[in-house]
Structure 1
Amino acid sequence: GKPRMIVSDNGSEFTSNAILQWADRTKVDWHYIAPGKPIQNAYIESFNGRLRDEFLNETLFSSLAHARSALSNWRSDYNDQRPHSGLGWLTPAEFAQTLNPRRDAVLRSQNGSAPQPAATETITATKNRWSELKTG
Structure 2
Amino acid sequence: MTPVPFSWLKIFGIYGLPRAIYVDNGNPWANASNKHRHTRFSAWLLRHDVDVIFGRPYHPQGRGKLERFHRTLKLEVLQGRSMTSLQEAQGHFDPWREVYNLERPHEALDLGTPAEHYRVSEREFVEQKEEYQYSDRYQIRRVNPVGQFRFRGQVYRVREAFQDQPIGLSETQTEGVWDVTYCRFVVASLNIRTGTIERHQPRG
Q: Shorter-chain TM-score: what band?
A: 0.5 to 0.7
Highest relative contact order (Cα 8 Å, sep 6+), 1 or 2? 1
TM-score by length of 2: 0.43
Query: In 2, Cα distance between the equivalents of 1:41 and 1:63?
Result: 29
Asked if 1:59 is matched to 2:81, the reply is yes
Aligned length, in residue pairs = 98
What is the DSSP-based 3-state SS (H/G/I as helix, E as strand, rest coil) of the residue aligned with 1:90? coil
Q: 1:37 to 1:61 in 2, by over 3 A?
A: same
* One-letter amino acid of the structure 2 residue matched with residue 53 of structure 1: L
TM-score by length of 1: 0.61
Which of 3, 8, 12 aligns to 2:27? It is 12
Query: In 1, Cα distance between the equivalents of 2:80 and 2:44?
Result: 34
More strand per residue: 2
Structure number with greater Rg is 2
Query: In 2, Cα distance between the equivalents of 1:59 and 1:26?
Result: 39
Gaps of 5+ in 2: 1-15, 32-38, 121-204
| Alpha-carbon offset, residue 38 of structure 1 | 2.1
- The percentage of counterpart residues that share the same residue type is 34
More helix per residue: 1
Asked if 1:88 is matched to 2:110, the reply is yes
RMSD: 2.1
What is the DSSP-based 3-state SS (H/G/I as helix, E as strand, rest coil) of the residue aligned with 2:83? coil
* One-letter amino acid of the structure 1 residue matched with residue 107 of structure 2: S
| Alpha-carbon offset, residue 58 of structure 1 | 3.6
2:164 is aligned to none
| Alpha-carbon offset, residue 50 of structure 1 | 1.3
